[in-house]
Amino acid sequence: MTSSSSKTFERAQELRRLLNKANHAYHVLNSPFMEDAIYDKLYRELIDLEKEEPNLISPDSPTLRIGGSPSKGFTNVKHRIPLFSLDNAFNFKELDQWYLKLLKLINQTKQPKDSISNLQIICELKIDGSALALSYENGFLVRAATRGDGVEGEDITSNVKTIQSIPLSLNLPNPPKWVEVRGEAFIPNKTFEKINQERRTREEPLLANPRNACAGTLRQLDPKIVASRKLDFFAYALHLPDDWQPNSNDREKPKNQWEGLEWLKHAGFKVNTNAKYFLNISNVKSFLSHWEIERHNLSYGTDGIVLKINEFEIQQLLGWTQKAPRWAIALKHPAEEAPTKLLKLACQVGRTGVVTPVAEFEPILLAGTSVSRATLHNAKRLESLDLHLEDTIVIRKAGEIIPEVVRVLSELRKPNSKRLCLPASCPECGSTLIQEIDGAATRCINRNCPAIIRGSILHWVSKSAMDIEGLGTKLIKQLIEKNLIQSIASLYSLNAEVIESLERMGNKSAQKLINAIATSKTKPWWRQLYGLGILHIGEANAKTLAKKFPTASKLSQAACESPEAIKETYGIGDEITESLNNWFSDDENQKLLSNLKKSGLSLEDYTEESIDQNKTLCYGKTFVLTGTMPSLTRNEAKELIENSGGHVSSSISSKTSFLVAGLNTGNKLEKAKQLGIKIIEEEELKKLLSL
């Protein structure tokens, strides 16, 4: 056996062992440990391996089974008609392959003159619950069973009779001798949330998700517990005796799936109203794309779309494989969780020195985007995951936005693989890392660490702080590497010639950036305070503190000498007070404030006392803005004027001091001329502002 064949054989063994363990946990022990998306991914990998090398197939392969073994807690019953599972497709390409294969199979059995080019299709939502087989005799419900292994299931009739949406008798005047109905039991989302809230109150373990909760509920030995969970049910399939003929006042015997759904509704069953009929495959994809987004607005969970060939005659012609009907397929929604292989552990150093471990793994598609990195938050999280090199890990998009590592499939771990942990030294500067007492954060305390400098500057120039447009990560990195800036204060010593010498910077973009840096000097005090990046000082806290302490010197004095005055501020507690004390007590930080002041930043809010009327021509003047200015937005210009003691009005009047006119001006320009209002452009405004 070659090395490659040996690895494939070992991988197939690992997959069989893990999938069989998952089946046993779900169907026998009633304690599932693996999400459907993860199971499907591993199951598909095993199918692909067995297709490439058929000699890998063994009698215990889960690909040869319809389902797991039934639970021992209930009586086993044989289904009158096997309750098959469905094959899955995971993208439109696989869906097209399924459809073309069906056309080929049908046309091979027909004469050339009878060949067909289109198949009618019914699309139904794939409800995320538990499949049930309902047996009616002479119109009455006599048995309800779980899927089990597809041939035998568990008799859970007493439990199913508590589900109000399942009729105990058919709403038919002349019911057939027997009727078999297939459908999906489920727990509505709000009901599931209520159940978990009650369990939380009783300090009981929370249920993992609605589907597992539904499966567990149906296996409860006490029907009263089942009734309290308020399960619901959608019927989706119907089987009738071949020899049954309806009377004249009965509904016609259905010839296809669409008529079957109507028959079920007529008989008293709840049928999902979102099913749709299509003449061919061409319009199906828009339906699938619609429900990929819209499913989040439903009151119950779905995990895909089921496509069925409509005509029963064609269904019979296509038949079944060993475990699934050929005439139906489930297109699963993109996995919100998926397994992948961990490649390495990287570390990021933030502006406060906190070192964050990051998992780098083989790229996977989640919620429509490719991801290859996920944060591990801190040393505690890293330790709890017990990550080893080349582990198989499960990735999820938290809120369908931020990738995170959910868990490790340790069953697939290679022997003697290396356990991963945070380094002892900073990956950026080599300084010894310090772990905080609570063990959550690990920090680099070297204030000259390039990562800390880079992070602090990025925070200072961000939109919520000083909003210096054009100063991004790459440019800041260049400036630090060339030792052109060492802190946020050194930004204000840059000139256009220095900026122009950097990679991909021209004269125009360099001058624009210098103008943006100069403009930032007049940002309000709360933005400057937030931009300093003091631990625990967010935008809201910065605004609150700046209002009570309108200058940096007053806040510094309170932080160092009267911390109780800070704690008296609404919304400010011990943690923030201590953080302010630590920051303002640091000599290097005081030096930074001094340098910022020398660079022209106010470090205070506008008050009558703080404006030197001899140094600004804007004080007490009223401005009106019109048109588009070359470098300033309307909001930036307004903020600059107000910070210099001026007032901005939205309309022209005799009290208007200046009209600031840009490009594409409107009626305000003509009115200003009529009233004799002084009209200036952006450059003249900047002179008034002393920029």
The radius of gyration of the chain's CA atoms, rounded to the nearest angstrom, is 35
Chain-centre distance of CA 169, in angstroms? 44
CA angle 359, 361, 363 (to 5 degrees): 135
The DSSP secondary-structure symbol of 330 reads E
Nearest Cα to Cα of residue 44 among 110, 91, 107: 91
Tell me the H-state helices in 267-330.
Answer: 284-294, 312-318
Q: Give the side-chain half-sphere CA count within 13 A for 554.
A: 13
Instruction: Give CA–CA dist 403/397, Å, rounded.
Output: 4
Has 190 been annotated as catalytic? no
Spatial distance between the Cα atoms of 43 and 40, rounded to a whole number of angstroms: 5
Alpha carbons 176 and 138: distance in angstroms, whole number: 6
Provide the 10 A C-beta neighbour count for residue 266. 14
User: What is the three-class DSSP state of 292?
Assistant: helix
Rounded Cα gap, residues 99 and 244, in angstroms: 32
Q: What is the DSSP letter of 58?
A: -
Tell me the DSSP string of 577-624: HHHHHHHHT-HHHHHHHHHHHHTT---B---TTTS-TTT-S-TT-EEE
Report the alpha-carbon distance of residue 403 to residue 336 in Å, rounded: 10
Structure tokens at 603: 């470090």
Task: Enter the tokens of residue 362.
Answer: 């083989």
Catalytic residue among 126, 332, 397, 521: 126
Contact 139, 172 (CB under 8 A): yes
Contacts of 276 (CB under 8 A, 6+ apart): 122, 123, 287
Alpha-helical runs (H) found in 64-117: 92-109
Relative to beta strand 355-366, strand 337-349 is antiparallel
Per the CB < 8 A criterion, the answer to whether 422 and 382 are in contact is yes
CA 229/CA 220 separation, integer angstroms: 11
Cα separation, 90 vs 40, in Å, equals 10
Asked if 515 and 492 count as a contact pair (C-beta separation under 8 A), the reply is: no
Residue 143 to residue 77: CA distance in whole angstroms: 9
Query: Which residues are within 8 A (CB) of 353 and not within 5 positions of it... i.e. 6 or more apart?
Result: 443, 444, 445, 446, 449, 452
Token readout for 261 is: 């759904």
* Residue 240, SS3 per DSSP: coil
User: Is-contact 660 625, C-beta < 8 A?
Assistant: yes
The residues carrying an active-site annotation are 126
